[in-house]
Structure 1
């Protein structure tokens, strides 16, 4: 039988893993790290909207590499799971956890954003239309730059919380479908994803569209703003509002599950 290039590559990779699992040789581990370090860079770029105001990209990548090493050491070849899939979720979770532990001021961020929302609701009622960013900033006696910072900070915090929930759900789903955890946990993972879909369906049309374009189509907020013909900060507000609703729905499910 003639081996294809791909199958030969898979065999070589399996042998590399076997050697490392048997010997725990640092040199072999370094080869594996070099092979999969690209995952860290991809994840760091995708999560830049979360950490760009609070952390340096080099720190994020370093944290991702540490997570990659940990995953390599703990990876079980006997499980029917692709390493890239499992490592991606673990690395993503570690980066999110690292960012959360940084010196943030979530209470101030939350209070500032609440003021913006109240101003927006007041002006919408008063003007009979959605107010522009400059009008909200003027009403709050804020410089437009400070106003945009409030929106950006609130958006980053909301993404962080929601990404954390998604990482936990995805990790549980991967683990349960490949024998990493007990069978009853598989039902929890499926139920959590079901709850997430139900809560997405409860969003208004604009929120659904923004969430779909951001997560499914993987468009940047500035590109979504162009498509919807609205400002970047308005897209951030819609996205933040959607994530907060989804987070509340999932947390309610988790709380009810504990109560039961």
Structure 2
């Protein structure tokens, strides 16, 4: 059987429509089994089968026999992932007009925050980028203390223990770093 499939595959890659047609017919049961295993919706049956045919036609063109993989195994894998992707898309797709709540009078769209101030968000983003650029100009120790204190929210005593220096050294380093940042900004 593999030899027959290999010959059909060579002819199909060459563009022979009859060979493609035979391959599609031979692998229709595989399409059905993968579809039923990973994504089945009776309302979409014809579409799902058509998609399976498209996946196989694409697989014919993309199959690389030099990888020592059987064509049937390759098709089984790409069909599985196609139908799993459909399942994933269906699970996580929902309309913003979908009614929620007990009374059913609120939609997801109603819950979205309407007063997003894009201008302020842009300005904050710009300021953050400038601050990061200026922090890069601090000494290695100053940068380390600022990151540990403000980003990782460690206390001064925790920082001093971690870095193996005195409490007062951390305070001085932090104050000097802030002064330097003020001058840079």
Same fold (TM over 0.5): no
Task: Say which one has the larger Rg.
Answer: 2
Which structure has greater helix proportion? Answer: 1
**Structure with larger RCO (C-alpha < 8 A, sep 6+):** 1
Q: TM-score range by the shorter chain?
A: 0.3 to 0.5
TM-score by length of 1: 0.32
